[in-house]
Copies of this chain bind each other. A is one copy, B any other.
Amino acid sequence: MRLPSRVQIVDVGPRDGLQNEKQPVPAEVKVELVHRLQAAGLAEIEVTSFVSPKWVPQMADNAQVMHGIRRQPGVRYSVLTPNMKGLEAALAAPREEWPDEIVVFGAASEAFSQKNINCSIAESIERFAPVVVAAKAQGIAVRGAMSCTVGCPYEGDIAPAKVGYLAGLMKGIGVARVDVADTIGVGTPRKVQAALEATLAHFDVDAVSGHFHDTYGQALSNTLAALQLGVWNHQSSIAGLGGCPYAKGATGNVATEEVVYMLHGMGIDTGIDLDALIDAGVFISQALGREPNSRVSKAVRTKRAG
């Protein structure tokens, strides 16, 4: 099995995870979570979203969180910016509190795009074009999150050609790298590889991340399939934070603990200390009043307890 020797993980728990948790989390807890993640060795953290608090009240403390973080050299802090107003809000702070990277987004499904943001895929990406230009003018990197690249809650299966179409639009507006997300977790290895391959027609393998949800328990086998294509950037969420908005009570993001366990077991370097990671997951789960949604966390803690 030919696999990359090193994997870089973006922990999206503070943003993608907590945004999909019902319970509000105080800003100081989010800041502490970021501190624990970077101390555990995460070199990329998706911190928050500069979105209207009317739509996403969980992220209303975005500026406060960015202000609270003690930055660690070599770590990249990213934020979601749904529009120019979001970018302006992110840049309203002193320069040292700016994100290193902003995240713009689009869906590979027309129905999802229409239902979610009330415009076509092409329109949604066009609207992001000036945001990308403005961010890059300030020296800020831009990542493009591509959702529903395998399946869509409205359209069902998504053809790889649609993923390629979206990737081409992202490339066209100057996005430097893209995430291939299985937003509803229905993907299996061959389908995920097809979505990735359609993306790799537009972006270099170093610029493509896998983002797989574990709703059907498939995230790790999909990660393995992605690794076999050479994809070495992966996104996951500490303690499996974040439910699935399309299947109440179901699992959303794959737990970072699971991904790291698999990678280390295969001798792949991540720079992450699994024990410290597990403790970070316990910290945020306790703040939410529940158990980490991670089998690795449970098994390791059971073993620790003897």
Contact = CB atoms under 8 A, between A and B. Distances in A.
A181 to B, nearest CB: 17
Interface stretch (A68-76, A115-123, A184-192): A184-192
Interface string A216-238: 11101101110010000000000
Contact of A193 (B1, B187, B190, B191): B1
A259 to B, nearest CB: 9
A258 B225 contact: no
B1 A250 contact: no
A301 to B, nearest CB: 9
A161 to B, nearest CB: 18
**How big is chain A's contact interface, by range?**
35 or more
A258 B264 CA distance: 23
Interface string A231-253: 00000000000001001111100
B214 A295 contact: yes
A195 to B, nearest CB: 13
A189 to B, nearest CB: 6
Q: How many copies of this chain?
A: 2
A274 to B, nearest CB: 11
Contact of A185 (B221, B223, B224, B299): B299
A67 to B, nearest CB: 36
A173 B217 CA distance: 38
A228 B228 CA distance: 11
Contacts of A214: 295
Contacts of A191: 265-266
Contacts of A1: 189-190, 193, 225, 228
A221 B221 CA distance: 4
A189 B224 contact: yes
A243 to B, nearest CB: 11
A6 interface: no
A296 interface: yes
Given A188-B266, A216-B295, A247-B302, 14 more contacts: A1-B189, A1-B193, A188-B262, A188-B264, A188-B265, A190-B266, A215-B295, A217-B217, A217-B255, A218-B258, A221-B262, A247-B298, A250-B299, A251-B295
19 contacts: A186-B265, A187-B265, A189-B224, A190-B267, A215-B295, A216-B299, A217-B220, A217-B258, A217-B261, A217-B296, A218-B261, A218-B262, A224-B225, A247-B303, A249-B302, A250-B295, A250-B298, A251-B295, A251-B299
